[in-house]
């Protein structure tokens, strides 16, 4: 379980790396269109799970 969540945290962290925006890709996203916020929340949950598993 510890190895799984360590891998999950690494993959989630890599997904947060910004990619260059394409010019003319459309309107700027609003607060409802922010998938990076959900990814950051999942990353923090995974980091907390790794810390909890290390303490067990």
pLDDT for 31 equals 55
> What is the per-residue pLDDT across 1-56, written as a single tens digit (0 to 9) for each?
999 999 999 999 888 887 665 555 555 556 556 778 888 888 999 999 999 999 98
pLDDT for 38 equals 82
pLDDT for 46 equals 93
- List the one residue out of 36, 45, 41, 37 whose CA is nearest residue 18: 36
Query: For the stretch 3-38, what's the b/e string if a residue is b when 16 or more beta carbons lie within 10 angstroms of its beta carbon?
Result: eebbebbeebeeeeeeeeeeeeeeeeeeeeeeeeee
């Amino acid at each position: 379980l510890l190895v799984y969540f360590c891998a999950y945290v690494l993959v989630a962290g890599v997904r947060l790396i910004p990619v260059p925006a394409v010019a003319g890709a459309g309107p700027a996203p609003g607060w409802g269109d922010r998938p990076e916020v959900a990814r950051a929340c999942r990353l923090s949950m995974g980091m907390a799970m790794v810390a909890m598993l290390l303490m067990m």
